[in-house]
Structure formats: C-alpha cells, structure tokens
Amino acid sequence: MVKLRAFLDAEAKRNAGGNGIKRTEPVPIKILKPTRYSLYVRLCPFCRKARGKIQSVSRKQFEGTCPNCGASGPKHENEQLARRAWNGGNE
C-alpha cells in the first residue's frame, strides 16, 4: 500500500503541469501551381479563335502553332516547355 500511495502521489505531481503534450508551432504551407496548368494549350494569343497545338519542328525542338491563323510560338527542346511558353509562361 505504501508503494502504491507513493506512486500515485508522484503521478499526481507529474501531471499537475499538463498532460505532457507540447503545443506545436504553426508552419506556413507552400501552395504550388496545379499540374493541370501545363496539360492544356490555351487559345492562340494572336487570333483568339482556336486552341494552339504543340508540334515537333525537328528531332529535339517543339513549338506551338495555331491551326487558324498559322502563328507559331517560340521553339523549345521539350514539349512541356513549349506548352508553357505558348501559354504565356516565363520559360
């Protein structure tokens, strides 16, 4: 009984300061651009009538072209980079 009483008194003193769980600090969440942004090709920036198409110019070069007015976008070594450039990206 004496050992039990000593144990319970020690537990009561230990839990007096809280339940032992520390509060966490808020962490800022970084929001990324959705990936579907790069999956579609937007309307032609010149005629605004038709969606552009990404076509292969040479073995390692792609560019966006408009089927309606024939405008062509900047050439890039990757299809995704050409799509981003056609959509108004910085690359």
Model confidence pLDDT, tens digit, residues 14-56: 755 566 666 778 888 877 665 555 567 788 888 888 888 888 8
d(CA 62, CA 74): 8
Task: Please state the domain extents for the chain.
Answer: 39-91
Q: Which tokens go with 65?
A: 């072209």
Please answer whether residues 44 and 71 qualify as being in contact, where contact means their C-beta atoms are separated by less than 8 angstroms: yes
pTM of the prediction? Answer: 0.52
Share of the chain above pLDDT 70, in %: 79
Residue/partner pairs of 51-59 with CB below 8 Å, 24 or more apart:
52/86, 54/79, 54/82, 54/83, 54/86
Amino acid sitting at position 66? C
Q: Which tokens go with 91?
A: 């690359």
Model confidence pLDDT, tens digit, residues 45-58: 888 888 888 888 88
